[in-house]
Amino acid sequence: MSDLRQFSLFINGAFCAPVDGIFFDSIDPATGHPWARIPAAGEQDVNRAVAAARSAFEQGDWASMTRSQRGRLLYRLADLIEQHAPELAELETRDTGKIIRETTAQTAYAAEFYRYYAGLADKEEGAVLPIDKAEMEVFTRREPLGVVAAIVPWNSQLFLSAVKLGPALAAGNTVVLKASEEGPAPLLKFAELIREVGFPPGVVNIITGFGEPCGRALTSHPDIARVAFTGGPEAARHVVANTANNFAVTTLELGGKSPVLVFEDADQTNALNAVMAGIFGASGQSCVAGSRLFVQKPLFESFTAKLADRANRIRIGDPMAMETEMGPLATERQRAKIEAAVAATVSAGGRLLVGGSRPSGREKGWYYQPTILACDDPALPTMAEEMFGPVLSVMPFTDEADAVAKANDSKFGLAAGLFTNSVGRTHRLSRKIRSGILWVNTYRAVSPVAPFGGFGHSGFGREGGMEAMRDYTRPKTVWINCSDEPMPDPFVMR
């Protein structure tokens, strides 16, 4: 136990142990063995973090900073993230099992989100209103909300933190960032960069812990003004219930069961590569994973055969090795869920095209093969439920109307992919497919400039883009009476 690396909470600019002294083991998904000790924040730790954030928001250096000064801190943070990207990526790979080449690239790109919001920090403007009352000057200004609770899952956590911290800090808020209890090490290390940048104490606090008591105490805290949550629908229901106590502004970025439509006229090589990236990138552990594939009937057999052949040749291995194309799942619990769903789908009539079991030679760790199932019923488990793993369900369609009906037959609505060379079809279907993101002839592209979010059980609110920063502020209307005359007596009728 003494060989395990130990991490700390980051509260009010200092690293500290949880008040209750409780730590838990973080498991290396590639080996199935503990590698680190993680602090479990309790209610007292949450209270300390929120109090520090509130104090920093209301008084001191952060409260008196100009917007340009806040932007300069964010620029400096972006530079540090780039410099430390290899170290942060190695921690993320060790803690979550995501392959090293993906975590390295994704961590470095997260810096661009901080640069984007650094540039926006002093661009927010108010407006003078053409009011209908003489002698009145009326204008609006946008002001920060206060203390933000930012809650991120284990997957893509540095990126998902950036899309919350970037706009929240640029707008002048302070933040308590809760890392997932699954794989939180990179964010606890990230706290060192926050301190090195020179953010005043309390502006950013980073804690980790379980839903009870940590998550519940944070999202229901009376001093929390906004909750930005990324995670699953079940946890989101608790978040929504908790915010009934503080009426915090809330955004939810939840799960997905994203459809990918491949028409007969599509560039098959491009579509094949995109489908592979969409479902087997990050071992399928992505909210935008393209886990439902619909292929036009004349193309169905040949396309799925090529897909199965390519999936069968994916190099599964040590996530720290640069040649590895797919690593393990993050938790043993998730692998068990996937195994049960695949077995239930096959039992109910699904046809296994490739995979469906643990890879040979990988007895240690939470590995699972890339899996493709042909399904003739949209209610089959792997077709209807979010797998959050390398499991693709495929089904043929006949025409545009059939494709749209199948794509929209889901409670989720986060992302979708469309592959066609028809410009007209692209525009027609972009209006009909119900999703917050539609990728046409590409997949998994992101940018700090582009907002993302979903419909239905995929949540509400948007992250990324200019609108996200506005969501971390509220307008204030200022009325100025420019007349030298006193207001009329309110009890004298004229």
Which neighbouring-strand residues pair with 463?
452
Where exactly does CATH 3.40.605.10 map onto the chain? 5-254
Q: What is the pLDDT of residue 62?
A: 98
pLDDT band at 2 (very low <50, low <70, confident <90, very high): low
pLDDT of 404-436, one tens digit each?
Answer: 999 999 999 999 999 999 999 999 999 999 999
Per-residue model confidence as pLDDT tens digits over 232-266 = 999 999 999 999 999 999 999 999 999 999 999 99
pLDDT at 98: 96
Mean pLDDT, all residues of the chain:
96
* Residue 1: per-residue pLDDT: 47
Left, alpha or beta for 342 (phi > 0: left; psi -120 to 50: alpha)? alpha
Compute the distance between CA of residue 265 and CA of residue 267 in angstroms, rounded to an integer: 7
CATH architecture under which domain 5-254 falls: 3-Layer(aba) Sandwich (3.40)
The catalytic residue positions are 253
Question: pLDDT confidence of 158, banded at 50, 70, 90?
Answer: very high
pLDDT tens digits for 431-490?
999 999 999 999 999 999 999 999 999 999 999 999 899 999 999 999 999 999 998 899
Pick one of 3.40.50.970, 3.40.50.10790, 3.40.309.10, 3.30.420.40 as the CATH number of 259-440.
3.40.309.10
For residues 169 and 56, the answer to whether their CB atoms sit within 8 Å is no
User: CATH 3.40.309.10 spans which residues of the chain?
Assistant: 259-440
Pick from 166, 186, 172: nearest CA to 112: 166
Give pLDDT, residue 31.
96
Rounded mean pLDDT of 319-330?
97
Cβ atoms of 225 and 58 closer than 8 Å:
no
Q: What is the reported pLDDT for 191?
A: 98
Please tell me what DSSP assigns to residue 358: P
Backbone φ, ψ for residue 362 (5° rounding): -125, 60
